[in-house]
Structure 1
Amino acid sequence: MKRTGELVLGIIGVVINSIAAIIGTFMTISLQVGFDQESDLIENELMNDPNIQAEEAEAVMGMMGMFAPMGWWIVAIHVIGLILGIIALVKLKNNGKAAGILFLVAGGGMLILTLGFTLIQSILFIIAGIMCLVRKPPVSSEPPEEPRTE
Structure 2
Amino acid sequence: MQFIAIVPAAMALYWYRSKAKRAGIIFIVVGALSIIITVGLGFFYGGLYVAAGIMLLVRKPPLREDKPVENIYGADERLQEIEEEQMERKERFEDQEKTDERT
TM-score with structure 2 setting the length: 0.60
Task: Please identify the structure whose Cα radius of gyration is greater.
Answer: 2
* Equivalent position SS for 1:124: helix
* Residue number in structure 1 paired with 2:24: 100
- TM-fit CA distance, 1:79: 2.7
* Residue number in structure 2 paired with 1:78: 2
Structure 1 residues 105, 146: closer, same or farther in 2, change over 3 A?
same
Pairwise mapping of residues 1-150 of structure 1 onto structure 2 (< 5 A)? 77-138=1-62, 144-145=75-76, 147=78, 148-149=81-82, 150=84
Which whole-Å CA distance do the structure 2 matches of 1:142 and 1:93 have between them?
A: 18
Q: Which runs of 5+ in 2 are unaligned?
A: 85-103
- TM-fit CA distance, 1:91: 1.4
Post-superposition CA distance 1:57-87 (Å, at most 9, x none): xxxxxxxxxxxxxxxxxxxx32321211111
Structure 1 residues 97, 142: closer, same or farther in 2, change over 3 A?
closer
Aligned pairs, number: 74
Higher RCO (C-alpha under 8 Å, 6+ residues apart)? 1
Which whole-Å CA distance do the structure 2 matches of 1:100 and 1:106 have between them?
A: 10
Which whole-Å CA distance do the structure 1 matches of 2:23 and 2:12 have between them?
A: 4
Which whole-Å CA distance do the structure 2 matches of 1:93 and 1:146 have between them?
A: 27
Structure 1 residues 142, 82: closer, same or farther in 2, change over 3 A?
closer
RMSD: 2.4
- TM-fit CA distance, 1:103: 0.5
Q: Give aligned-pair identity as a percent.
A: 35
TM-score with structure 1 setting the length: 0.43
